[in-house]
Structures are given as structure tokens and as C-alpha cells.
Amino acid sequence: MTGLDALPPGASVRGRADGFADYLVGPAARRRQLADGFIETFEAWGYGFMVTPLIEPLDTIAAGVGGAQQSALFRFMDSDGALLALVGERTVSVARVVATQLHDGPFPLRLCYAGSVLRNQALNAGRRRESLQAGCELIGADGLAADAECIALAAAALERGGVEHIQVDVGHADFIPGLLDSAGLDATAREEVLAALARRDLVAVESALEGTDAADAERRLLLAFPTLRGGREILDTAAGGLRGERPQRALQELAQLWDLLEAHAITDRVHLDLGAVRDWDYYTGPTFEVFSVDSGFALGSGGRYDSLLSRFGAELPATGFVLHVDRCHDSIVRRAGAAAEPAMVQVSWAHDAYPRALELSRDLRRRGVACACDLAAGGDGDVQVSTTGVEWAHLELDARAGIDAAVAALAARTP
């Protein structure tokens, strides 16, 4: 449990800023292990681990994210007067590195990372303003196989991390804008419909479509967008009567993507969501979000963002995703409960046995057994080993043979 999670909503801890958490012994280690497991999975798929700064020039971040995300940045001034910001996401930093240091490839580049991000957002019901994220970016590949790989990799990392019963909602960032384009809406009506869709307000969508020349097929889909979810069959249903090339192309790409995901053997966890409302100014193709029955928030999200690198002078296609480590940790705890504390090995000693106790401690650590050695004499025998998490086990040790016996006993008794 973290200090933040232990408090009622709106409460604060003296000496700690609101919206930030302390992870105590136990939860902090499991959170770190979860992030390490994600990175190990990414590396097993050929993604190279990289580290980018927590601080970027404000204009660097502004080049990559929209106004809403810019307003949620923690900003401050450098000693020379330059404006800096704490990163609210790390894809922009990766794009900067690729454009300035990795522009010669070789492409495609497979990159992964893990680190904290900070957002200066409203404090609602204990919402975190600092969180740990792990993610991947696949840069220089424009085919749907790259999108399928990222979706499958996100699912594989969550599975390895112990997050159960996930569902991947896959959409396409150009489907709804393409519908509006083929419906022939002017700029004002288009903005009204997009805003209503973002609010998931069907009444407002219908009102915005009144008096327009939207065809029946486009009008039907725009009004039914919350229900446009399911398997591959919804693509044929949605395509009926569509005239516009853009929405048809989006549906065709989703059909091809489904086949690729089937080859990855994960379509049992995939739903197509044609009504997905994502950042249309950022994403340019397939998008996805990952959910679990144990969390009310997305555990991860991603998609294709072919226009981002060009803002840094590199015309490169790209796709990627991020996993929210803290949300994944919360999901695991809700399902399985807090994990049992690992067995704690303690070496105690009496009389003049301190050198032998230290020798035992060193040998246990070399063999992968974590242990602490008492700082003062206090044992009943020369040297003893105790461990919690099982019944207390006291071992009288006799030189090297005793060390070997202690290691064997701990291996047999420690869960």
C-alpha cells in the first residue's frame, strides 16, 4: 500500500505534496519488479532499452503534444531564463532522440523505456500526478504488421506481469474523421460533431447533424458509434452503404490488422471499437487501449502517429504504446490481494562468532539468498539463521559444512 492509497480522498500528508505517493517496503519492490518484467519482455522482442530525461525544454514538448496536454505540464525556469517542463509522457522525448541522434537508423528502430511522468492535473479522488510508465516505440515501419506487433507485445508484457483477464479495444483514428469528411460537413458542423463525440453525447451529435447533407449511412454510423464494438463482423456491417474512400480505407486496414492479430493468436482478447474517441490530431491510423475487469482505467494505450517525427525534422512513420505500471499494480492487488512478504533471513551470533556470521552472510548473498546480519551479539549459539514467512528455523552452524546446510535448509523451507 502506498501512502496516497492509504488516505481518504482529498486528504494530505504533512510534508508531501498532494497527488504524490510514497511506496513503502514491499509494494515498492513489487512495483519495480513489474516494470522490470515489462522491460524484459520488450527486450525479448528485440526492443532496445533507452533512458531520456525527466526534464525537457518547453518548446520541445510543445512541438509534440496538443494544447490540453501542454496545460497539464509542470513548468519552471532554468537559471538562464529558458523555460523547461517535467515530461508528461515520453514518446516526444524518444522522437527528439531519433530525429537528432538516431536519424541514420538502421530502421526500423525498436526502442523501449521506463520512467516517471508528471502531470499537473486536478486532484480528484486521489488521482496520481506522478506515475510510472513503461513503453515501446517502433519507428520507421509503416505497415500494419508493425501495429499488430505493438498490440501483441503489450498483451504479452501484461500477461508476463501477472495482469489477468485483459481486453484490447482496437480502433482507427481516421474512421470517424473520415465519416465526417465523406458526409460533407462544413468546418463548424464538423467541430460540433467531434466535440459531441468526445463527450459521448448522442443528443448533441444528432443536433449537430440536423440540417446537414450527411448521407444515411454516415448519419447512421455517427449516431450508433457507442455500439460499434465487436469482432471482425462489425466491419462488414459498418461498410454497408458507405461511399467515402477514407472511412472505407480505415475499415479495410482494420480487417487486415485483425488477420495479423489472429496470426499473433490474441484475437480472443481483442474487440474492434469503431467509436473509439482518441486524439485525432495526434494519431493517424490504428489505435488501441488495454483494459482489465479489475481496473476502471485503461492499463495501457497506443497507436500509429506518423506525423510526430516530422515535427522534429524526420519524416518517419511510427507506432507504439505505453503501459501504466501503477494501474497494472493496482489491478493485480485487487484480484490477488497484497502479495505475501518474502521470507526475511536473519543471521545472529554469540560470543566471538561475528567473523563466521559475516562469512555465512556473504556466502548466502553469493548464492542469491538475501539476508541481514545482526549488528551485535545476541544469539543462543555460535551462529544461527532465522527466517520469517515459515516456522522459525534455527540452525547451529559448524564452519563450512554448517553454511552448506543452512543454504540447503533455506532453499527447502523458504516459500
User: What's the grid cell of residue 164?
Assistant: 489477468
Residues 114 and 258 in one domain: no
Residues 6 or more apart whose CB falls under 8 angstroms from that of 79 comprise none
Residues 235 and 154 in one domain: no
Residue 282, in any domain of the structure: no
Residues 6 or more apart whose CB falls under 8 angstroms from that of 205 comprise 193, 196, 197, 222, 223, 225
Residues 22 and 56 in one domain: yes
Cα–Cα separations (whole angstroms), residue 235 to 256, 287, 299, 365, 404 = 11, 16, 26, 58, 64
Q: Which domain does 371 fall in, by range?
A: 345-413
DSSP 249-266: HHHHHHHHHHHHHHHTT-
Residue type at position 201: D
pTM of this prediction? Answer: 0.85
Residues 133 and 7 in one domain: yes
Beta bridge partners of 321: 136, 302
How many distinct structural domains can be found in the chain?
3
pLDDT for residue 386: 72
SS3 of 295, please? coil
Residues 145 and 181 in one domain: no
Residue 286, in any domain of the structure: no
Compute φ and ψ for 85, nearest 5 degrees: -150, 150
User: For residue 53, what is the domain's CATH number?
Assistant: 3.30.930.10
Q: Which residue has the cell 461498410?
A: 239
Do residues 243 and 140 lie in contact, with contact meaning Cβ atoms separated by under 8 Å? no
Per-residue pLDDT of the chain (415 residues; tens, 9 = 90+): 444 444 444 555 567 888 888 888 888 989 999 999 999 999 999 999 999 999 999 999 988 887 777 888 999 999 999 999 999 999 999 999 999 999 999 999 999 999 999 998 776 655 788 999 999 999 999 999 999 999 999 999 999 999 989 999 999 999 988 888 877 777 777 788 888 877 777 887 777 777 666 767 777 787 777 778 899 999 988 888 787 899 899 999 999 999 999 999 999 999 999 888 777 778 999 999 999 987 778 999 999 999 999 999 999 999 999 999 999 999 998 887 776 666 678 888 888 889 988 988 888 888 777 888 999 988 666 777 776 543 333 444 444 455 566 566 655 554 4
Residues 213 and 146 in one domain: no
Residue type at position 20: F
User: What's the grid cell of residue 372?
Assistant: 541481514
Residues 158 and 178 in one domain: no
> Distance between CA 341 and CA 327 in Å, rounded?
21
Alpha helices in 102-244 (DSSP H): 144-161, 175-183, 187-199, 202-209, 216-223, 233-239
> Distance between CA 43 and CA 164 in Å, rounded?
22
The alpha carbon of 223 is separated from its chain's Cα centroid by a whole number of angstroms, namely: 32
Do residues 293 and 313 lie in contact, with contact meaning Cβ atoms separated by under 8 Å? no
Residue 256, in any domain of the structure: yes
Residues 117 and 192 in one domain: no
| Cα dihedral 403, 362, 394, 368 in deg (nearest 10) | -90
Q: Give the DSSP letter of residue 226.
A: G
Residue 394, in any domain of the structure: yes
Q: Among residues 380, 387, 383, which one has the least CA distance to residue 402?
A: 383
Residue 169, in any domain of the structure: no
Residues 318 and 185 in one domain: no
Residue type at position 408: A
CB atoms within 10 A of CB 174: 21
Q: Which residue has the cell 516459500?
A: 415
pLDDT for residue 412: 57
Element (H, E) at 44: helix 27-44
Beta bridge partners of 134: 114, 323
Compute φ and ψ for 110, nearest 5 degrees: -110, 110
> Distance between CA 254 and CA 272 in Å, rounded?
8
pLDDT for residue 390: 38
Element (H, E) at 333: helix 325-336
Residue 290, in any domain of the structure: no
pLDDT for residue 216: 72
Classify residue 211 as left (phi > 0), alpha (psi -120 to 50) or beta: left
pLDDT for residue 367: 78
Residue 330, in any domain of the structure: yes
Residues 266 and 382 in one domain: no
Residue 289, in any domain of the structure: no
Residues 134 and 80 in one domain: yes
Q: Give the DSSP letter of residue 2.
A: B
Do residues 290 and 301 lie in contact, with contact meaning Cβ atoms separated by under 8 Å? yes
User: What's the grid cell of residue 407?
Assistant: 543454504
> Distance between CA 271 and CA 92 in Å, rounded?
28
Residues 306 and 368 in one domain: no
Instruction: Give the strand pairing for 345-349 and 371-373.
Output: parallel
